[in-house]
Amino acid sequence: MAIASVNPATGETLATYPAHRDAEVEARLAAAAAAAGRWRRTPLAERTALLGRAAALLEQEREALARTATLEMGKTLAAARAEVEKCAWVCRHYAAEAAAMLAPEEIATDARRSLVRFDPLGAVLAVMPWNFPYWQVFRFAAPALAAGNVGLLKHASNVPQCALAIEEIWRRAGAPAGVFQTLLVEGGRVAPLLADPRIAAATLTGSEPAGAAVARAAGESLKKVVLELGGSDPFLVLPSADLDRAAATAVTARVLNNGQSCIAAKRFLVHRDVYEPFAERFVARMAALRMGDPLDPATELGPLATPAIRAELHDQVERSVAAGARLLLGGRPPAGPGNFYPPTVLADVPLDAPAAREELFGPVAPLFRVGSLDEAIALANATDFGLGAAAFTADPAEQERLAAELDTGSVFLNGLVKSDPRLPFGGIKRSGFGRELAAFGLREFVNAKTVWIG
């Protein structure tokens, strides 16, 4: 089978790669297993120095890496540059902080000395998505490699150039053979990999079905897994909000990465007292977005990654309109090449319509009118997902309630939901389990080992 890289703005096939055959996969598994034994014994200072060199290469190669991502999955060039810079940041963060995070914790007991060590698990399989083809990988790899694990990357099949570029960054940074490798394999080969005893654990960022499949396979082998899945993040606007700032942030939160982000705001819950002025500002800003060639510096909204994603999104919009939603903007895919979908705003969305119940992976924003804070919180939580939530309010009491009562992995008040190496990231409910980033993420793939000395 060939794995193809296709430009979503034009439909042009950029490159094709043969999938790794069984012998190549076996060789890479063997190399990972051998490297795991050596890398865990490598001094921590050498491991973190590798992260520093990787960060420097990412910064040096920013333009080439960004262009590859833009051509391969359609994000704007500015967004791709920012993504590469963020990867350098996460490497530098763990280079500086891993020693403190991995330091043994002394605990007073009846022993002469007792402590908890944080030792690596071994080879971790990372099943990663296309939407942030560098960031999703580096936010796993930086803490995992710092902790002494080794990585095997099964990337999304539509971003093979990014997958190979990541492997090359680690190689050029000086990673010993087997410490980080890319596997060019189809999704159907993930389960056998998880069953292999040389794989110690797995992490996946992706869809609910993919997460469930990996969780089942990992469970069969009793292996640790971290899942970051979909989201239907609410964005609440309450009467005390700065409406200009809220509307500007809402647009950014909706169309980030061309709307293809798990933590993009996907449901806009607006208090009735400010609904009309907010909606007016929001629609105007959405309508002003410039859609086009993602390589053009003036472009603010590029294409969706694949024709199938665009077709599914349009189907969700049409079914929502058929159910009673009202189009305020967009909703009609343009003719011509590329997977473009226009900024779209829906109002009067029934609560059983797709735009209310399903994840919208593209620049489509449903607006909901709420009458109180209680109603806003209830509607925000009325979803199977629980990744992130944003809310705009100047009222400290409302902020406290929102922080405590929104059922999500993160709550951002007066700002858009984002990931940050210094803060734990992940979800609850059908958005997955486990955490990435911060010390929480680094410790997902370690053995918290009790040591008792009498």
Confirm if 65 and 39 have CB atoms less than 8 A apart.
Answer: no
Cα separation, 394 vs 273, whole angstroms: 15
Instruction: Tell me which residues are annotated as active site.
Output: 228, 262
Query: HSE (CB half, 13 Å, CA atoms) of 136?
Result: 28
Identity of the amino acid at 421: P
- pLDDT at residue number 424: 98
- Concatenate the DSSP letters of all residues of 302-313 into one string: ---S-HHHHHHH
Confirm if 224 and 215 have CB atoms less than 8 A apart.
Answer: no
Confirm if 127 and 202 have CB atoms less than 8 A apart.
Answer: yes
- pLDDT at residue number 89: 98
Class of domain 2-229+431-453: alpha beta
DSSP one-letter code for 104:
P
Calculate the alpha carbon distances from 308 to 33, 128, 294 in Å: 37, 19, 19
Degrees to nearest 5, angle at CA 126 with 7 and 434: 120
Name the superfamily (CATH) of residues 233-420. Answer: Aldehyde Dehydrogenase; Chain A, domain 2 (3.40.309.10)
The dihedral region occupied by 241, where left means phi > 0, alpha psi between -120 and 50, and beta the remainder, is beta
In the chain, what are the domain boundaries?
A: 2-229+431-453, 233-420
Phi and psi torsions of 406, nearest 5°: -75, 125
List the beta bridge partners of residue 390.
235, 412
Which residue in the block uniquely carries the two structure tokens 């014994």?
A: 41
Confirm if 8 and 306 have CB atoms less than 8 A apart.
Answer: yes
Cα separation, 125 vs 122, whole angstroms: 10
Confirm if 90 and 79 have CB atoms less than 8 A apart.
Answer: no
Give me the tens of pLDDT residue by residue for the chain, a chain 454 residues long.
789 999 999 999 999 999 999 999 999 999 999 999 999 999 999 999 999 999 999 999 999 999 999 999 999 999 999 999 999 999 999 999 999 999 999 999 999 999 999 999 999 999 999 999 999 999 999 999 999 999 999 999 999 999 999 999 999 999 999 999 999 999 999 999 999 999 999 999 999 999 999 999 999 999 999 999 999 999 999 999 999 999 999 999 999 999 999 999 999 999 999 999 999 999 999 999 999 999 999 999 999 999 999 999 999 999 999 999 999 999 999 999 999 999 999 999 999 999 999 999 999 999 999 999 999 999 999 999 999 999 999 999 999 999 999 999 999 999 999 999 999 999 999 999 999 999 999 999 999 999 999 9
Confirm if 443 and 426 have CB atoms less than 8 A apart.
Answer: no
- pLDDT at residue number 1: 76
Sign of CA dihedral 305, 311, 315, 321: positive
Cα separation, 184 vs 197, whole angstroms: 20
Cα separation, 443 vs 446, whole angstroms: 5
Cα separation, 34 vs 365, whole angstroms: 49
